[in-house]
């Protein structure tokens, strides 16, 4: 069975569907709050031209989702699968953001649950790469059972080196925590 990087995934609160080129305005509206990005390595992503690069990369990845709040039908954020490694049976989940009104656990938990349930049909572990100073995202990952794996340095689009931390959830521990 082939890993579909852009299935439509539906939960009680949200639906994830493949990101489309005409989603730009709605997704930029969801992303235009500077506080969303304050701890992120690219803290100016709320600016249109910076967000355009993010959006173009999301489309090119062929693994990006629009996160739709089911109640209102509007886009409230995005996430994606990337760096699928079938040899090591792992995939990265990341590039995730939600509008601030959806912070606090419930929406992010359902988002990650949907993505992890799908991923673990094909891989044994899921990685999350987070900015070293993005404590909010690190705390959210700990809440869903992710464990610190290692520190890494990643080249950014502007040529600088960004320090990140990698978290992991293994299929075996995930299955136990959701049983």
**Per-residue pLDDT tens for 4-18?**
999 999 999 999 999
In the prediction, which pLDDT does 175 show? 64
pTM higher than 0.75: yes
pLDDT band (50, 70, 90) for residue 114: very high
9-178 CATH fold: Aminopeptidase (3.40.630)
pLDDT tens for residues 60-113? 999 999 999 999 999 999 999 999 999 999 999 999 999 999 998 799 999 999
Local structure of 74: helix, strand or coil: coil
Question: Residue 176 — very low, low, confident or very high, per pLDDT cuts 50/70/90?
Answer: low
| Residue extents of the structural domains in the chain | 9-178
């Amino acid at each position: 069975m082939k890993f579909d990087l852009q299935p439509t995934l539906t939960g009680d609160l949200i639906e994830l569907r493949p990101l489309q080129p005409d989603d730009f305005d709605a997704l930029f509206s969801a992303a235009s709050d500077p506080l969303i990005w304050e701890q992120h390595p690219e803290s100016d992503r709320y600016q249109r031209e910076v967000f355009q690069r993010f959006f173009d990369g999301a489309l090119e990845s062929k693994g990006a989702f629009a996160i739709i709040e089911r109640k209102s039908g509007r886009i409230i954020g995005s996430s994606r699968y990337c760096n699928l490694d079938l040899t090591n049976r792992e995939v990265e989940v990341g590039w995730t953001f939600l509008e601030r009104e959806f912070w606090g656990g419930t929406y992010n938990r359902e988002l990650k649950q949907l993505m992890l349930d799908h991923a673990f049909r094909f891989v044994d572990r899921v990685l999350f790469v987070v900015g070293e100073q993005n404590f909010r995202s690190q705390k959210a990952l700990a809440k869903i059972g992710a464990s610190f794996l290692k520190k890494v340095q990643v080249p950014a689009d502007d040529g600088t080196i960004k320090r990140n931390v990698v978290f992991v959830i293994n299929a075996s521990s995930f299955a136990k925590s959701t049983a």
